[in-house]
Structure 1
Amino acid sequence: MTTVILAEKPSQARSYVQAFQKRTKKQGYYTVSDPVLPDNTLVTYGLGHLVELATPDKYDQKYQQWALSNLPIFPNKYKFVVSASKKAQFKVVKDLLTKADTIIVATDSGREGSNIAWSIMSQAQIDVKKKTIKRLWLNSLEKDAIITGFKNLGDWHKDYLAYKEAQTRQISDWLIGMNGSPLYTLLLRQNGVRGVYSIGRVQTPTLYMVYQRDQAIKNFKPEPYFELNAEILANQQKFVAKLDPYQRFKDEAGLMTFMQAKHVQKGSQDGFIKDVQKQGKKRASPQLFSLSSLQSAMNKRYHASASQTLAAIQSLYEDKLLSYPRTDCAYITDEEFDYLVANLTKYLGLVSKPVALTNTTPNKRYVNGKKVEEHYAIIMTKVVPTKEKLASLPKLQQQVYDLVLRTTLAMFADPYEYEETTIITQVGDANFATCFAAKTLFAKNQNNGALANVWQSNICCFMAITNDLSLSTIRTNIKLVGKSSINSKRIALSITNMQMSYIFIFNLK
């Protein structure tokens, strides 16, 4: 009886065989031995997509030249081919799968991984009804996870459905590209536009969205407006207050009418601190990373593209440092939480400042097995690198690992606590309000600030305004500010703000 393990690519196959007790390298495959495996087990691999959809000219020679008369192209049966550069490895895989009694699909645990494996088996004409097919589901390439995975192989039916889903997407991409690209290229040529224009299911709508946004920016017309702000000096602290409730005025005349009705003047007049409201607040650390949220965070923090971030995560996954990258889940199960707790001290050794992490009880904000399907959130594995190992990684991989590390550790920290202070100042019959978010971490939490730079933003400096300012009489001068409603998303958009020079200062009497 022969068992063949089909990996997606050579690096994945190497990770598998390194987890087994014995392995021998052959041409295009390995022989392996381990208590978790049946006797006579082999590990072979694809080279990513060994099998791909044939181009139109493989159906009919007339498609070698683009012509509107040949469109649309809708094959009765879709052809799949192996590229010339991959035929040798395909032959190795085909021969092994043909001889196998049991096939373990061990490609990536996602629809593209399923597509790769089943496309190979289909092209190799493997009769799956005469084979025992099993599926390996993994979230990590570390040794313990691999051994556990091979002890708990899954059924192939769900995997086959994922393959059909991915293949349907693959065919739809082919239809749009092979029809749309020649169609638009030829039509544009008829109108004197040279070049070849690629049309795609994702790329073309995305490009149009970029175009729409660019046109909106290009055609944007700023509208001037006025607002009434205040600069207040109290207890030697200066801060800015805005009209409460906030209002904009289309012109200065409208603002002056409002000021007259509210008995507010540009010159000197009395005012007073009407109220000081304080409210304690808490902010929990963010959820754990899915692929998209990690890509977004990396772009915001380090300006890395989505593809650059994915490549970095993939490399860290293959190095057994991070869990499976292509996940849309922001939760982990109790099993992952337990090993994170067990290795907490080691992870903390990678953080530059000491941190107090005391919440070692699962919190449903992060730990919820019911919301984990195929893959859990992107977290560290049990393999904790040394600082020297991390320093040897490419810069982007260091940044990705550090961000995942700090976000995951923040799960164990107490909530970020701060005090929000709102000050209401009255001038005439008009109120002006300003709000401060003040950092007030308690003593037991004060070391948690080491993680704060990951998940806290827009926390203003605290203004030491105390309740004894309430009803204090102050001297005021009014400031009118003219502005233009600028499209903030426009890069290098140049619009000159209308700034009026009236000075507004509050002084305590």
Structure 2
Amino acid sequence: MSKSTLIIAEKPSVAKALAAWLADTFGLTVRSAGSHIVVGHYNVSWLFGHVLENIEPHEYDARFKAWSFDHLPIIPEKWQLKPRVDRETGKPDSGKMAQIKALKSLLDSATEVIGLGDPDQEGQLLQDEFLIWAGCKVPVNRLWLSAVDDATIAKAWKDIKPNEHYKGYYWMALARSHADWLYGINGTRACTLSSQMNGGNATLTLGRVQTPTLALIVFREWEIRHFKPVNYFTPFIHLATTPQFRAAWYPDKEDSRLDSEGRLLDRKVADGIVSACKAAATATVKDVQSDKGRENPPLPFSLSSLQEHLSRRYGIGVQDTLKYAQSLYEKKIATYPRTDCEYLPVSQHAEASDIVRSIDSASSRLPAIGGAAGKANTTLKSRAFNDKNVTAHHAIVPRPVTTSQLVGLSSQELLVWTEIAKRYLLQFFPAAEFLTTEILLECAKEAFKVTGKVYTSRGWKDAFTSPDDKEEEEAAGSVTLPKVAKGDVLKVKDAGFDSTTTKPPKRFTEGTLVAAMKSVHKFVTDPKLKAILRENVGIGTEATRANVIGELFGRKFITLEKKEIKPTELGEQLIQVLPKQISAPDMTALWQQAMDDIRKVGEKGYLDFIAAQKKWLTELVKEVPVWFAGKSMMAAGKKSGLTIEASAQKCTKCGSALNRVKGKFGWFFGCTNAACKTTFKDVDGKPVEKAALPKDPVIIGGYESGAVCPKCKKGELQLRVCGPASKAPGRQFLSCSNYFAKGKAKCEHSIWPDTK
């Protein structure tokens, strides 16, 4: 059998770049075959990211289609995958299914495989899970590739290793995937069912990332709601120098006149300081410090920094930013957008002159770019070019572009491309240089301080003339100070104080929420967990944060008002009920700690972690009803399916009070003790215990309970008893388990004692 190497890239663009490199490097011919590219004995094909997903609970067992506490926790004995389905159509994408079929066919004829998933745990997972699912039986090697320029590919190609070398990444990603499924399915069902027991009708989803993100929004809203403004005063002196300047009061931190937050709250004290300074009429320079500094250009964008930038400056939502950036990538005028990195491989500096030249030619009529591309010095190499800081994907930067490509963009796409291009061009301008001066003064035995900053060379700050850029710089403030020396006595022209009222924290915008998710360690008090979250860049990933926020909007947990995110009543109620260990980001930190261990020990670490999750979930589903005791949560605009009345009756099992409840099939009594959950029949307004169903099979009309339904051949026959309000109270009969199902699955077949 002749050698046939199948290379499976994570995405088509990477496959095409590698195919071109193989052809150029080894002098091979290239032929496109639709689902793959033939380069000599290499068949270079691709996935579309995650093409598989975990199956749903009811696909393991039809009983799980109906939500019931009796099923929890749902824990698959053997995990199964299926082709990923479109959430809107409920069906797999036809193009992806065709690619999956083609890959399986290529695998059948391959003598070896080279995996080219992204160089991280998710890239390893989507590659390995596909190969396992497709039944790969040939040796697999791994190409660990962080960028697709020729130099990076050549270096990675020489370092190809057996896939087993990277198995730790697979097991840690699999552990995270399975744990997220277990927590989401069981937590969501437990919370929803607990609320429904009390008359609620909202679906209450839980998620390792979603729930702490909602908590950030809710806690911020509570801060704002309970905020009490405080007035405080800051005395100042106005010096009659050339140029004139103001110096602010600079008390010692331990000054008894300050409150615990370091603020002066007593106006009389402020008035006294001002009067004394006016009377003194002079101030003595106690110290002068001047330092030179450099301000490097801002780094190229990661997805989250691009989302934050566009949200703050133009009000573009985070999901829209991802959509436009993805479109630019697909049109081959910008690099891959789902990246958490703001750095570039050193090897890509060689492409800079071509990229800048194309931007200069194509964007000559764009006012926002102006002549910056023509002024850029591509011999400069900013701090952005640093191999050590490049992760699975490098920063988002432009690719060579033509005028016709820019003309074909929508206005929003062009705006996003322009901001990406501007940030890239800044890497080829010199650093700004400045001089900071700090002057300490004494007037009327009180200390005052002023700090000034003057740019001696503006460098990259003059690359663009955008009014928005100028406004941001002016907002930062700069003070020009006179030349003074220690011991100089300066004349005080005036003195006064600034009165300031503290303001509540601002609500999150979509951009600032993404930033908060990325820097969630700031909201954690435990030093160890804080360090883990800081090192692993918060909760969620660049690819998922926008989707998480979108899910919160979709579930009606949050709403958008004038670009500000506010929690709905439902969102607040949920966070109020959940204990801290569920709403805090600590779980992500603890899981990440476990993931790091799994990467080192492999499958054993995965098995130990999932075993611990199973044990925890078993206890969790028992605790959830206690959290929701007496609490029901309603979806906006949706009526409850239950009517609940308090009653004087007591539960014969635990002694707790009983509620009288009207459900779909009439009135019944339900115990208010969430740990008991016993229900009773309502007979003339009084609770009556339900007769226990026989444990052994019952035969009625020649059919046995538990047998397959003779009509639909899908459900099973279940023993039922007529209620007290029926024509034949207490009478037993058999009916299909799909009797109360909806749609095509419904089967109303029943068997009575006198029927055959």
Quick one: which of 116, 119, 136 aligns to 1:126? 136
Distance 2:290 2:49 in 1: 59
Distance 2:390 2:213 in 1: 30
Quick one: which of 102, 112, 120 aligns to 1:92? 102
Distance 1:278 1:149 in 2: 47
Show CA shifts across 1:231-261 (max 9, x none).
55655x665432134863222233345557x
The reply to whether residue 282 of structure 1 matches residue 275 of structure 2 is no
Distance 1:474 1:225 in 2: 23
Distance 2:270 2:214 in 1: 43
What is residue 415 of structure 1 aligned with on the other side?
A: 431
Give the 3-state SS of the residue equivalent to 1:438 in structure 2: strand
Query: CA distance change for structure 1 residues 105 and 172 in 2, over 3 Å: closer, same or farther?
Result: same
The reply to whether residue 23 of structure 1 matches residue 31 of structure 2 is yes
- Alpha-carbon contact 2:191-2:204 (below 8 Å) kept: yes
After superposition, residues 133-212 of structure 1 pair within 5 angstroms as: 133-140=140-147, 148=154, 154-155=160-161, 156-212=163-219
The two structures have a TM-score, normalised by structure 2, of: 0.54
The alpha carbon displacement at 1:140 in A equals: 4.9
Give the 3-state SS of the residue equivalent to 2:463 in structure 1: helix
Which letter maps to 1:93?
Answer: L
Give the 3-state SS of the residue equivalent to 1:85 in structure 2: coil
The alpha carbon displacement at 1:66 in A equals: 0.5
Which letter maps to 1:65?
Answer: A
Query: CA distance change for structure 1 residues 77 and 228 in 2, over 3 Å: closer, same or farther?
Result: same
Show CA shifts across 1:116-139 (max 9, x none).
332222222222xxx132334444
Aligned-pair identity (%): 26
Distance 1:162 1:135 in 2: 12
Q: 457-466 or 158-167: which moved more? A: 457-466
What is residue 326 of structure 2 aligned with on the other side?
A: 314
Query: CA distance change for structure 1 residues 409 and 256 in 2, over 3 Å: closer, same or farther?
Result: same
The reply to whether residue 270 of structure 1 matches residue 269 of structure 2 is no
Q: 404-413 or 10-19: which moved more? A: 10-19
The alpha carbon displacement at 1:53 in A equals: 0.9
What is residue 68 of structure 2 aligned with on the other side?
A: 67
- Alpha-carbon contact 1:295-1:306 (below 8 Å) kept: yes
The alpha carbon displacement at 1:180 in A equals: 0.8
- Alpha-carbon contact 2:294-2:432 (below 8 Å) kept: yes
Distance 2:461 2:269 in 1: 50
Larger radius of gyration: 2
For CA contacts below 8 A with separation 6 or more, give which structure has more relative contact order. Answer: 1
Give the 3-state SS of the residue equivalent to 1:321 in structure 2: coil
The alpha carbon displacement at 1:274 in A equals: 4.3
- Alpha-carbon contact 2:379-2:428 (below 8 Å) kept: yes
The reply to whether residue 218 of structure 1 matches residue 222 of structure 2 is no
The alpha carbon displacement at 1:281 in A equals: 2.8
- Alpha-carbon contact 1:438-1:459 (below 8 Å) kept: no
The reply to whether residue 449 of structure 1 matches residue 462 of structure 2 is yes
What is residue 264 of structure 2 aligned with on the other side?
A: 249
Distance 1:16 1:446 in 2: 38
What is residue 379 of structure 2 aligned with on the other side?
A: 360
Distance 2:244 2:179 in 1: 62
Q: 403-412 or 467-476: which moved more? A: 467-476
Distance 2:406 2:18 in 1: 23
After superposition, residues 494-505 of structure 1 pair within 5 angstroms as: none
Give the 3-state SS of the residue equivalent to 2:328 in structure 1: helix
Q: CA RMSD in A?
A: 4.0
Give the 3-state SS of the residue equivalent to 1:440 in structure 2: strand
- Alpha-carbon contact 2:297-2:460 (below 8 Å) kept: no
Give the 3-state SS of the residue equivalent to 2:489 in structure 1: coil
Which letter maps to 1:6?
Answer: I
What is residue 56 of structure 1 aligned with on the other side?
A: 57
Distance 2:294 2:115 in 1: 47
Q: 467-476 or 106-115: which moved more? A: 467-476
Give the 3-state SS of the residue equivalent to 2:268 in structure 1: helix
Give the 3-state SS of the residue equivalent to 1:74 in structure 2: coil
What is residue 313 of structure 2 aligned with on the other side?
A: 301
Which letter maps to 1:309?
Answer: T
Which letter maps to 1:186?
Answer: L
Distance 1:359 1:11 in 2: 26
Give the 3-state SS of the residue equivalent to 1:78 in structure 2: coil
The two structures have a TM-score, normalised by structure 1, of: 0.77
Question: Where does the alignment leave 5 or more consecutive residues of structure 2 unmatched?
Answer: 24-28, 86-90, 253-257, 364-368, 509-561, 565-756
What is residue 507 of structure 1 aligned with on the other side?
A: none
Distance 1:42 1:386 in 2: 31
Which letter maps to 1:3?
Answer: T
Query: CA distance change for structure 1 residues 65 and 145 in 2, over 3 Å: closer, same or farther?
Result: farther
Give the 3-state SS of the residue equivalent to 1:229 in structure 2: strand
Which letter maps to 2:31?
Answer: R
Give the 3-state SS of the residue equivalent to 1:264 in structure 2: helix
Query: CA distance change for structure 1 residues 479 and 259 in 2, over 3 Å: closer, same or farther?
Result: closer
Query: CA distance change for structure 1 residues 374 and 486 in 2, over 3 Å: closer, same or farther?
Result: closer
- Alpha-carbon contact 2:8-2:117 (below 8 Å) kept: yes
What is residue 505 of structure 1 aligned with on the other side?
A: none
Give the 3-state SS of the residue equivalent to 1:198 in structure 2: coil
Show CA shifts across 1:452-485 (max 9, x none).
8779845535547455996353442x43443322
The alpha carbon displacement at 1:293 in A equals: 3.6
Quick one: which of 473, 476, 483 aligns to 2:500? 483
- Alpha-carbon contact 2:224-2:504 (below 8 Å) kept: yes
Which letter maps to 1:243?
Answer: W
Distance 2:406 2:166 in 1: 35
Distance 2:148 2:413 in 1: 17
The alpha carbon displacement at 1:449 in A equals: 1.2
Q: 458-467 or 279-288: which moved more? A: 458-467
How many residues in Structure 1 have an aligned counterpart in Structure 2? 470
Quick one: which of 107, 112, 119 aligns to 2:122? 112
What is residue 471 of structure 1 aligned with on the other side?
A: 489
The alpha carbon displacement at 1:448 in A equals: 5.8
Distance 1:371 1:104 in 2: 26
Query: CA distance change for structure 1 residues 426 and 281 in 2, over 3 Å: closer, same or farther?
Result: same
Show CA shifts across 1:49-87 (max 9, x none).
332211111222221110111111122221222355355
The alpha carbon displacement at 1:7 in A equals: 4.1
